[in-house]
């Protein structure tokens, strides 16, 4: 499934260039184009699901595994002491792109990191 006007669908299809960090069965991981901290990345579903509520629950284990892998990578690389996982659903909750994505945001003690 692809939405013709969706920027994340175009990234998944290779129509728009992005710094791809991982390519898994049902998700890709890219560096955030407007990071709030060094290493901020996005986990994006390959299929077009507007929100997490539209995504099959069967993808939850793969999503959690990728989030864990990316968070631990950021800690190992020294970009984080802690990691925030953020998933906004619907515009009223701050979702800017209507395609499922989860922010993986590295944090360090005392750093001033804005919220997404």
Q: Which amino acids are annotated catalytic? A: 101
Q: DSSP labels for 87-104?
A: ---SGGGT--SSS-EEEE
Strand order across the beta sheet in which 41-45 lies:
20-23, 27-31, 41-45, 101-107, 82-86
> Would you give the distance in Å from CA 74 to the centre of its chain?
14
């Amino acid at each position: 499934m692809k939405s013709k006007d969706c920027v994340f669908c175009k990234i998944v299809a290779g129509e728009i260039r992005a710094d791809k960090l991982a390519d898994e069965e049902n998700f890709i991981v890219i560096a955030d184009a407007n990071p709030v901290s060094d290493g901020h990345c996005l986990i994006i579903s390959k299929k077009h699901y507007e929100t997490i509520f539209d995504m099959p629950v069967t993808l939850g284990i793969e999503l959690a595994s990728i989030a864990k892998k990316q968070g631990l990578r950021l800690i190992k690389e020294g970009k984080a002491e802690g990691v925030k996982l953020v998933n906004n659903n619907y515009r009223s909750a701050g979702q800017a792109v209507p395609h499922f994505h989860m922010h993986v945001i590295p944090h360090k003690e005392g750093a001033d990191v804005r919220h997404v």
